[in-house]
Amino acid sequence: GQQLNQSPQSMFIQEGEDVSMNCTSSSIFNTWLWYKQEPGEGPVLLIALYKAGELTSNGRLTAQFGITRKDSFLNISASIPSDVGIYFCAGQRDETSGSRLTFGEGTQLTVNP
Amino acid sequence: NAGVTQTPKFRILKIGQSMTLQCAQDMNHNYMYWYRQDPGMGLKLIYYSVGAGITDKGEVPNGYNVSRSTTEDFPLRLELAAPSQTSVYFCASSYSIRISNEKLFFGSGTQLSVL
């Protein structure tokens, strides 16, 4: 099946640092999504991207839909302790083929105060 | 609105036992989904439903069954639990199948261990 490769697997950073993570695929996706999951909870949508090249911000978070439609990037600026969690990318290939979201393996982010 | 509610939060099963994971949503969403999340892995789709009475297999349906008798409820059934089914299970719902237009709302998960 389709696979999303997300990197890095984990990050340990100091409060105030910027963070970058990315997701790549061998297949084209028409929608890219970024989710955050906190311990004991389900994922929550952070940013949705709909067009190749699109750059979208949500507060300190910025995500980009790659030009090739095979990758996406998430940046977090000036990290704070509450940014801790697992960040997942997800792609949807075809809106008409059912809700077949493909998820990356996640990036575990730890922020040291 | 409570959103998506899953029960139980935790469960330990013996090999061969059966159980039903409950999921309910009060947002009048047509679409509901069951995912499993294994350590260090992304979410894998088990089954989904596009409306009451209609269900379809996802990526990893073996060993599971679902039913959708009402819009609100989408239970997941494990008939003969196996250690490979040890995982965290998430139920989700959305108004539209077009994820680009509508959010996917997740429950808080059920941690299942099969020993």
pLDDT tens digits for range B25-83? 999 998 999 999 998 788 999 999 989 999 999 989 999 999 999 999 999 999 999 99
The pLDDT, as a whole number, for residue A96 is: 56
The pLDDT, as a whole number, for residue A111 is: 96
Q: How far is B90 from chain A (nearest CA, A)?
A: 7
* Pick from A42, A45, A106: CB nearest B108: A42
- Confirm or reject contact between B59 and chain A (CB < 8 A): yes
Give the burial class of A67: count Cβ atoms within 10 A of its Cβ; 0-12 exposed, 13-18 middle, 19 or more buried. Answer: exposed
CA distance A72 to A108: 17
User: Phi and psi at residue B84, in whole multiples of 5°?
Assistant: -65, -10
pLDDT tens digits for range B7-38? 999 999 999 999 999 999 999 998 999 999 99
Map residue B29 onto helix, strand or coil. coil
Quickly state the pLDDT bin for A95 (edges 50, 70, 90).
low
* Pick from B90, B99, B106: CB nearest A99: B99
Q: How far is A39 from chain B (nearest CA, A)?
A: 9
- Confirm or reject contact between A91 and chain B (CB < 8 A): no
Which residues of chain A neighbour B97 with C-beta distances below 8 Å?
A: 95, 98-99
CA distance B76 to B58: 13
